[in-house]
Amino acid sequence: MLWSCNPTAIPLNRSITLFGRTRVYCFQSHTMETNDETPKAKALSFDFLSKKPYSPPSWGSHLKPIPSHVFSLGHLPTPIHRWNLPNLPQNTEVWLKRDDLSGMQLSGNKVRKLEFLLAEAVAQGADCIITIGGIQSNHCRATAVAAKYLNLDSYLILRTSKLLVDKDPGLTGNLLVERFVGAHIQLISKEEYAKIGSVALTNVLKEQLLKGGRKPYVIPVGGSNSLGTCGGTVAGLSLGSWLGALNAKVHAFCVCDDPIYFYDFVQGLIDGLQAGVDARDIVSILNAKGLGYAINTSEELKFVKEIAEATGVVLDPVYSGKAAYGMMKDMAENPKKWEGRKVLFIHTGGLFGLFDKVDQMAPLVGNWHRMDVNESIPRKDGVGKMF
């Protein structure tokens, strides 16, 4: 799925301030990515949850179809700041685009696609949303929250192991939020998912709901279709960076399948917009899959912990964590390639995914012990107030 191919390192010979300007991040930037302090920019915060007409940036006016409306669901623009990573090549700067701070219960970059997809759902008179993903899908959790904000029910088909498909999925990570907001969860085994496919599964549920008098709107895995491309991630970001003023090539890391699969997938998405460009011209995709989707080595998790300890930035273990690990590994192995470059790394969120890794993370953290308070310190009942 497209979300598995995270946009990350964008090496530039330009000033990094270009990324703070309008019309360089993705289609949404025309109205929402204005990092200035004008009254118009400040007024955007009062547009939250509003539906408004959409006008594409000038470089995207030839794309078809163009969305007619968009919902304001995220807290945008998200900030950009210098990321003081350790052991960078000489004169290399890394800046961080904080889409993990986009709001919507830590929905990360997922909310950008949902702004377009849910606008279409409402326009079509839908009363509920269907989507599908892994058992800890950030996209599914973001969809459940955003749908409820718009008074829509959500139906989530979640992929899990055959040993757990008949058991209560619990309340870990994304599942806690999904179940709190009232999402209807249906489990499918990985084996059944592989044989049936996501499209057929969502169609089965759609037919069931239609027979029950509901009006469902189906969002594909990760929100990855041509309409969702208007909000990013790899396809939209690459297209916007290539056609806009930046004219830069995005470097991405895939965390499932392989680069060939994602080149073809991105090509299908941009062809759906009649963009007339070759995916391989606008994005370079490297493999950061490791042991597999949402499966981490101890080295990868140790890296995530070390980056948090060194910089205060918490990466998720499924997407941005693997992407940053791949970037830093390449910097260590090929420092000359990166020397003197300015890099913008897109943090796409996914913090809740860490809660599913607590057993693996436990040996990596410590720094605790019972406080030693000498017996000579005066003690009196009621002195310490527990607020």
Evaluated on CA atoms 57, 61, 62, 65, the torsion sign reads: positive
Q: What angle do CA 130, 228, 200 make, to 5 degrees?
A: 40
25 burial class (0-12, 13-18, 19+ CB within 10 angstroms)? buried
Q: 4, 72, 107, 137: which is the annotated catalytic residue?
A: 137
CA distances from 21 to 17, 31, 97, 244, 349 (A): 7, 11, 13, 11, 22
**DSSP structure class, residue 350:** -
Contact by Cβ (8 Å): 88, 324:
no
Task: State the chain's maximal CA–CA distance in angstroms.
Answer: 78
Is residue 376 annotated as part of the catalytic site, yes or no? no
Contact by Cβ (8 Å): 111, 142:
yes
Contact by Cβ (8 Å): 130, 208:
no
Active site residues: 137
